[in-house]
Amino acid sequence: MDYLPLFFNLRQQPVLLIGGGEVGLRKARLLIKAGAQVELVALSVHPDLKTLIQEQQGQIHYAEYADTYLEGKKLVIAATDDQPLNERVYQACQARGIPVNVVDQPALCSFIFPAIVDRSPLVIAISSAGKAPVLARLLRAKLESWIPTRYSDLGQLAGRFREAVKARFGSINQRRYFWEKVFSGPIAERVFNGQMPEAERLLQAELEAAEGSSAGVGEVYLVGAGPGDPELLTFKALRLMQQADVVLYDRLVSAEVLELCRRDAELIYVGKKRDHHHLPQPDINQLLVEKARAGHRVLRLKGGDPFVFGRGGEELEELKAAGVPFQVVPGITSANACSAYAGIPLTHRHYAQSVKLITGQLKNRTSELNFAEMRAPNQTLVFYMGLHTLELIVAGLREAGKPASTLIALISKGSTPEQKVLVGTLETIVAQQAEAQIEAPALIIVGEVVSLHHQLAWFNNPAPTIAVQGPLSQAAPKLHSTSA
């Protein structure tokens, strides 16, 4: 994060604007809209800017800039094309500890102006840290169309009832639940339809009927976080991530996905990796029950899909026995995401008509895999958590009759910018991995569909680099092209 987003309260605060052209006019409009007392210094002033300042009882100095104009100012904006003057203003403000913005010169700014979506009291600020202001404005345009102007009325309504709700409910969680019900139910719909008196009446009735004495039992959301790319989350997953008070997350949840959880939620790491469990599974189960019984909405965030080698079933059994309500949101499992991002379809009419999802790490950490079922042709085998048992898996497949020439791919950190793919055969892959040291988490795909990697990964590569080694690495991609 290049800048920390902050909102200044400039109401009735003195602000200095240097420069009287059209750029200064745009900045003055924003400042005055925020309630600032604008003082302008310029040798000449745009007629519209002059009128604006005069209407707001501001001051205009038709003079050269001098550092004395900085006295008592809370904020300074330099909107001139005079580079020496801009640098002088910046240095003078820095010496006095006054926030300063030199328009279109990020190096001379202690703060920058974002693109703004104004639904006061709801205000959304969008910044590109000065690197791509046009992109920020395009995003603002999208938000302007997505967020109805009536959100301003909804915010004003909430402001009028804020103290009454605070007095009614003793805990933060109770107040949060109440407001979320208001903002997502019939009261908000009345506001959006312009029926403000009816919305206010309903809100008053809801407040009077509410019981604020007990938090009651909360709820658990068992949510699949997918393989790492935050854009692969479902809409429902994102909504519940924003609602949860407590988040229990595992090792495979990416930092980018975790960042989308509610900022003030309690984050509890319960990750596991081979031979090291930060919190044993029974303790995780019990913690879910305890947090829910305390009245919290608990998000159990799991990498991939919670029901595909994620032990989600065990957790739900515990919740069911304890009488705790829950919701389950599937996630995109690693087999789907990693294969797609690596350009390896799990099924293909010419290569594979079935798929097996197999765990490479069983409960007792010994191999109980039925390799005889895996020797059939025309199927794709996908091994989860099998990197540390790669040699055992390869040996088992070969002993069961799989040809040594069978293609195999290791996909490390699939769907993320760190994705790497190692391609080989059952005969070569162990030696290749010993040299390449592909890192966990990794997925293993076995089958003839791996031969499509070089053709399809060129079109679907999310990472800046993919490391590919093995018998396919010298093959030229066979691509079909079309022309308009």
As given in the structure block, the two tokens for residue 62 are 């038709």
Q: Do 53 and 39 contact (CB within 8 A), yes or no?
A: no
Burial of 264 (0-12, 13-18, 19+ CB in 10 A): exposed
227 has binding-site annotation: yes
82 has binding-site annotation: no
Amino acid residing at 315: E
303 has binding-site annotation: yes
323 has binding-site annotation: no
308 has binding-site annotation: yes
Cβ-based neighbours of 66, under 8 Å, separated by 6 or more: none
Q: Which residues are catalytic?
A: 250, 272
324 has binding-site annotation: no
Q: Do 445 and 411 contact (CB within 8 A), yes or no?
A: yes
170 has binding-site annotation: no
304 has binding-site annotation: yes
For the sheet containing 354-359, what is the strand order?
Answer: 354-359, 379-384, 442-446, 407-412, 420-425
Q: State how far the Cα of 233 lies from the Cα of 230, in Å rounded to an integer.
A: 6
**Residue 149 backbone phi and psi in degrees, to 5:** -65, -20
Q: Do 447 and 326 contact (CB within 8 A), yes or no?
A: no
- Which of 429, 123, 211 shows the shortest CA–CA distance to 421? 429
23 has binding-site annotation: yes
In this structure, are strands 407-412 and 442-446 parallel, antiparallel, or unpaired?
Answer: antiparallel
319 has binding-site annotation: no
313 has binding-site annotation: no
Binding residues for NAD(+): 22-23, 43-44
Binding residues: 22-23, 43-44, 227, 303-305, 308, 385, 414
Binding residues for S-adenosyl-L-methionine: 227, 303-305, 308, 385, 414
